[in-house]
Structure formats: C-alpha cells, structure tokens
Structure 1
Amino acid sequence: MTSTPYTVADVMTTKVIAVTPTTGFKDIAAAMERWKVTALPVLEGEGRVVGVVSEADLLPKEEFHEHRPGLIEQMRRLGDTNKAGSTCAGDLMTTPAVTIRPDATLPQAARLMADRHIKRLPVVDADGTIKGIVSRADLLKVFLRTDEELTAEIRQSVVERLFPLSHEAVKVTVSQGVATLTGDIRDSSLIPLADRLTRSVEGIVDVRCRLTSRTTA
C-alpha cells in the first residue's frame, strides 16, 4: 500500500575506489588515506569483486613489526601472522567478500552490516560485478528528506489509500521527521495499520498516531 521502499541502488555511491589483487601494501594504505575510507574492494577482470582489504587486514604488519610471534601465537593467530608477512592485496584481503545486491532494501543492508560488523558493502550484480559502494552514512540519507516530502508521501501513500472516504478528515503533520496523524475516521480497526504504514515511510523518525473513531468495525 505504501510507495516502493528505497533500495541500496537509491543511496549507494557509484564512484568506487578499488584495488586489484596485485596492488602493493603501501599503495593500499595510501589509497585509504587519500580517500578517507577504511576498506577497499579488491577487483579482478572487468570488475568482479574477489575480496575486501581493510585497515584490520593491514594492522598485523605493524603489530608484529617489533617482535616475531612465538609458535603458540602463530598457531593461535595464523591468519594475522600470515597477513603480517603479506605485501599485496590478494594475500591481505578477506575473502569471500560480504556483498549486497542493488535491489536490496535499506533495512536488509543495515542488518547485514550489523550482523557482520562492517561499515561498507560492495554492491554487485548477479555476476558479482561491482556497481557501487554503500556505507552506513549512505543508509542514513533517507533521514535527510524534508518534512514537506514526508508529509506528502504519508498523505498520498497511506492516508488517501487507507481512508478513501474520510481522508479529508485526517490531518498529517511532520516536524523534524516525527509524523503526527490526527482526525476522526470511520473504522477504528484501521488505526493500528495507519500507524504501522506511516512508520514504514523511509525517513520517518517516529509516529504519533492520534486518530479517533466514533464507530467500530
């Protein structure tokens, strides 16, 4: 009933800073510093994502710079000690990369980032070819929508469709992303649905549903 949800394609960054498996350690570090990012996708061929190299992948070289780990530590942290001796992205990267499709919804992207404890996701098509990058900051772009935009969408996609006979009696106001619905409607059973659908509008921070009804379903 509501408008089409925002997808990753709507908010992702299409300019992708990436490296190849043969990119050297210092070039990776320089790219992260220059572009102010904490991770870079590693691309092969015509843009296929084969891994991601992050600051965490580079840190073991500094950690083990002054001391050589003992046998027990090497066994316990085999991945880190191997990376400490690596010099190119192909050996440093984490693979397979955690990626997402352009048509994924923003909540799906947010859950994936939270579950995997990552800040950025390469966006790939069905063939694994890079299409963009989506970050935590990108997911928050929906909250930059104006109160006027949100008011118009709630009225059109929620109120007018849910209450075709009494929509003129419903007042919608949005202030700082908080939506308030007031007015008298015919069917009280629709009030919880109006609340839920309004909350589903991208960019809404909170909802105060103050609808009333003189009749019951």
Structure 2
Amino acid sequence: MPDYDTQIREAFPELDHIDDEDLRERVVEAWTLGLDRGGWRDIQDIPYAWNIHEVTNVEHVRGVTRIARESALEQREFHGADPDIDVIVAAALLHDVGKCYEYVDFVEDDMLLDPDPRYATEEVPHSLSGYALAHEVGCPLAVQRAIPHFIGEIPTRTLEAELVKSANSASSNAITQSAMGITLQEWVDEYSQTQD
C-alpha cells in the first residue's frame, strides 16, 4: 500500500496553516480514506478534471486553498470581518477530495491499484462525496458545510463556504483558460452534455 500520509503532507504544505492539530489530522485522514478507497497509487495522479489532465487535482486544491486563505486574511484586515481561517483552509483542502472516487474511470489503469467499487464511481458528485468523507472522519460541521460548492447542494451558505466557493471558481477559471483557452462557464456549457 502506498504511503498516503507522506504523499498528502508533501502535496499540501498548506496543512501547516491549520492551527488546530486535530482538524489538520482529520483532513489527512479524509484524504487517506479517499485515496485508499479510490485505489490511487499516487495523489499526484488525480487530474483536475475528467478531461483536463495537464493540471493535477493537487495543484487545483492548493490554488483554491491559497486563494481562499488570502481572501479571508484580506477580509479580516480590510473589512474587519472574522472568517475562521482553520475552517477555510480545511474545507478548501477537502473541497475536491471526492475526486478520489469520481475520477477513477478517467485515468490509465496503471495509476490505480484496486478501486473499491462501493466508493469509486462517477455516480456521486465529488463535492458530495467530499462532504461525506469530511463527515465520516469527524470534521466540524462548519468545515463540512463549506465543502459542497455547487449551487443547491447546501441550504445555508456561511462566509467560509462562500470564500471556498469563490476561490474554487477563481482557480477553475484560471485552469480552464490556461489549459483550454476558455472560461469555466464555457467549459461547463461545452462538456456537461458529454457527461450526461
């Protein structure tokens, strides 16, 4: 079995921005479960999107985490808001952990060991399976609520959830523009029909 703990800690130096050690370990545990159940050899093999393999999920997650954290710090300094940085960093790091399950059918077989068919499927959207993983490992409700990032997936949006969602959009737009020369919305419009 791969050393997922080391892979995760090396992939995400942003873990160090979570002050609460217990929460930091829960983030690592969620990723470990996702990687194991998805059957991944290496965390770096998970693509950003089912059809964008030039950018890894790790790169995107790190981008979202950095953008969300910097936005929170700016809101704190400039507007006097009080977003919970630990919640934001943990939720940003976990917002796409569900891709461990969803993207197993979109990579070469040699990137995988033995995906568990009870979990590894594209049937459940990654933001929902990511929420489920965070719930399963005991992340606080504030973190769980900030993980779903598609409209309609959660009834009440917190400041932390909005920061993660907007950082996800910012990172995704940068990736689709640099990889394909289109906006995120153009990518959704063009490729959502091929996934239906």
More strand by share: 1
State the TM bucket, normalised to the shorter chain: under 0.3
Q: TM-score, normalised by structure 1?
A: 0.22
Bigger radius of gyration = 1
Higher relative contact order structure (alpha carbons within 8 Å, sequence separation ≥ 6)? 2
Q: TM-score, normalised by structure 2?
A: 0.24
